[in-house]
Amino acid sequence: MGILTEDMKRVVREQRLGFVATVCPDGTPNLSPKGTTAVWDDDHLVFADICSPRTVANLRRNPAVEINVVDPAVRKGYRFKGTGRVLTEGPAYEEIRAFYRRGPRAVGDAIYERIHAVVLVTVERALPLVSPAYDGGATEAEIAGAWERYWQALWESRRRG
């Protein structure tokens, strides 16, 4: 059995968006979203470098990476810490590129053509993230319901302009 549980894989597969933190040469953090974040296998996540020059440069220098994936409705998710390998050629690169070409996480042609590299993340530590909104005893249904109402109102006000 790998480090990624079924629930971790479910959340990543459902949300499709990870916030990826790397370390800059001066030691400061670099954080940016990757909508191509996906489960590769029981121990690995992947994302595609389409326009992420700083993340990729940082990983080439220092492979340390942390990815947060959160379900914004239930206010829960996971944080994945490990090392990221930037791939631009070879069998693993080809296999991951093919994954973004076909299958459930296929991207459109315009995006696919712009994939410069893929990043294979070996997850070494995986921990749950839970909002303090639960501290008062609220259920998932209550929290999700409150956010649904909030987004509904937001979208309606955007539609009205």
Cα atoms found within 13 Å of the Cα of residue 16, Cβ hemisphere only = 8
Task: Using the structure block, give the residue that is written with the tokens 């700083």.
Answer: 54
Strands (E) in 6-116, as ranges, are 18-23, 29-34, 38-41, 44-49, 64-71, 76-87
Residue 50 or 74: which CB sits closer to ligand FMN?
50
CB of 49: closest distance to ligand FMN in angstroms?
5
In the complex, the smallest distance separating the C-beta of residue 111 from ligand FMN, rounded to whole angstroms, is: 8
Indicate the residue among 5 and 30 with the shorter CB distance to ligand FMN: 30
3-class secondary structure, 60: helix
Choice between 23 and 129, CB closer to ligand FMN: 23
Q: Which is nearer to ligand FMN, 32 or 152 (CB)?
A: 32
Q: How far is the CB of 20 from ligand FMN (least distance, A)?
A: 7
Closest distance of CB 142 from ligand FMN, Å:
27
Binding site for ligand FMN (CB under 6 A): 17, 30, 32-36, 47-55
Residue pair 118/48 in contact (Cβ under 8 Å)? The answer is yes
Residues pairing with 81 in the sheet: 66, 125
**What does the alpha-carbon distance between residue 3 and residue 62 come to, in Å, rounded to a whole number?**
22
